[in-house]
Amino acid sequence: MRKVVIVGGGSAGWVAASYLNGALNDRGKKKTVDITLIESPDIPRISVGEATVPSIHHVLEVIGINENDFMKATDATFKQSIKYVNWLENNGSGYHHPFTRATPGPIDRTGRTWMESMRDIPFMETVAAQTIISEINRGPKPLGEQSFSAPLKYAYHFDAQDFADYLTTFSTKRGVKHILANMLDVNVAKNGYIKSVELDNEQTIEGDIFIDCTGFSALLIEKALGVPFEDFSQWLMCDQAVVAQFSYEQFFPGVIRPYTTATAQSAGWIWDTPTQSRRAIGYVHSSKFIDADKAREELLAYQGGIPDDYETRVVKFKVGKRQQAWAGNCIAIGLSGGFIEPLESTGIYLAELAAVTLAEFFPHKDEDMAAMAFRYNRILSNRYYEILDFINMHYCLTRRTDSEFWRAVQKPEHITDRLQAKLDLWRRKAPTLADFDDQAFYGYTYGVDNLDNPLIDSRPPVDTGGLWNYASYEAILFGMDFRGEEFKEKLGDARLKSRPLQNVINTIQQAAKTLPPQHVWLHQTLDMPAWDVNEIPTGWVI
């Protein structure tokens, strides 16, 4: 029986333990893999609130979790979209990137049609009913709908610490071993494989496969094995966040929005994620352009009505990825493997992806290790670059010039070569699925170093569209008025008014009749307190 040792808990550690137990051990019914998680009792537990993407449904289902139980335990609410405010201009304008959108038929020309229109209706409102459904605070599913099923795609906002606690209880009941102890040393064999870890409770834990979930400390993958970190800060300059929690008992805003809000500030942006009992807010910013004290001032100003001594914390981070997520018999999952700022809610997602892919490439025999690691690293690496390019695009298309930060992010040296090649292509055509077959674009030089190490893939990365395809790129491009001035000058008064698809109109009308406001669903299904919500739509009464 293969022995898996996970060092480090938190969301990443327990997602890895729970998913592997679900996928490889049939939720503990068939024990083919022995899983032990070692967690330090001394490391402070920090929860800043989390937002996810719909892929989390697969993870929870494989683990064997009931959706309502999970939502109750983690203070969860529904998330249907991300709303970006003040990213294009500093004037209060915004746009949505929802999870569900419509197409007119087998050929989708909606992007090109909108580009040539008056643009008097935001693009996503012409193709995505979920944009309006989110704005009128309807949830994604009717009352009584089964777990993980709904007319609209959705994810969650939840408390990450509660999530880890819930997975701990759930998984240990199903066979995952949990040791509370500090790791003192790592024993590495001559072949570069980890043999065991020594703990401060005088235990030595041996294993066949070790998973590093020790966060930015990267105690196994970096400290013990020396795998370097690839820095992304040239393209994503934010490196810390000021975070705070606002309980509804003191600061209820009058609504529990079914979407995440990302509001641009002078040197970054503020996330706003609502759970059932509070809002988690964090100002992600670049310390090069603003210090933590001034960032804190902007955060409190965003919330409003907050005393100067209100508790906030500073969380520092580094953006990038591990050169190899899997080295020898060690796999880095979570922050030890990499981090990209949470603008599109990829923190939990990347831990999910790592665990799901590891289950698929699990080495049941020693001789499988190198081949499995090579392919695993290729998949994880491609996805990190895909996320890097997509997040980079949010910044570089801005028209803001009101601060040094926003002027800097538009400079060519802060745009990845891959993204620039995509943008050059999309200045000639609207995005389509074919654009994600590979990254061979006209005028793009790969500039890849040939490396002799067979475990390191020297081929250029490929954006497979595995997380965001052309539809998501259109949401951001057109939300940022891509090629707006060009078509205004070229077509002028010949442009037609923007028109929503008829099935979008129909869906909005149907949703208003069948989908309850989010707070109604949460109250009636999960017993959330009946907060004093503003303007409850007629027909929906708490």
Please give the positions annotated as active site.
79
Instruction: Read off the DSSP letter of residue 443.
Output: T
Alpha helices in 32-91 (DSSP H): 56-63, 67-74
Asked if residues 341 and 218 have their Cβ atoms less than 8 Å apart, the reply is: no
User: How far, in Å, are 310, 363, 403, 415, 424 from residue 410 at the CA level?
Assistant: 34, 44, 12, 7, 15
219 DSSP 8-state letter: I
Pairing of strands 183-188, 77-79: unpaired
Contacts of 510 (CB under 8 A, 6+ apart): none
Distance in angstroms (rounded) separating the CA atoms of residues 263 and 316: 20
As a dihedral over the C-alpha atoms of residue 299, residue 303, residue 304, residue 308, rounded to 10 degrees, the angle is -50
The DSSP symbol for 393 reads H
Contacts of 236 (CB under 8 A, 6+ apart): 319, 340, 341, 388, 391, 392, 395
φ, ψ for residue 339, nearest 5 deg:
-155, 135
Partners of 205 in the β-ladder = 197
Q: Please report where in the chains the tokens 């008992």 appear, as a residue.
A: 249
End-to-end CA distance of the chain: 53
C-alpha 208/C-alpha 226 separation (Å) is: 19
Strand partners, 95: 84
DSSP 444-479: ----PPP---TTS--SPP----SS--HHHHHHHHHH
Query: Of 400, 309, 402, 279, which Cα lies nearest the Cα of 296?
Result: 309
Q: Reduce the secondary structure of 220-251 to three states and give it as a string.
A: HHHHHCCCCEEECCCCCCCCEEEEEEEEHHHH
For the chain, how are helix, strand and coil distributed in percent, rounded to 5? 35, 20, 45
Nearest to 95, CA basis, from 497, 484, 536 = 484
Q: What secondary structure letter does DSSP report for 116? A: T
* Cα–Cα distance measured from residue 483 to residue 523, given in angstroms and rounded to the nearest whole number: 44
3-state secondary structure of 524: helix
| Start-end of H helices in 304-446 | 347-360, 369-396, 404-408, 417-426
- Amino acid at the residue 368: D
- Alpha carbons 519 and 531: distance in angstroms, whole number: 8
Q: Give the type of residue at 278.
A: R
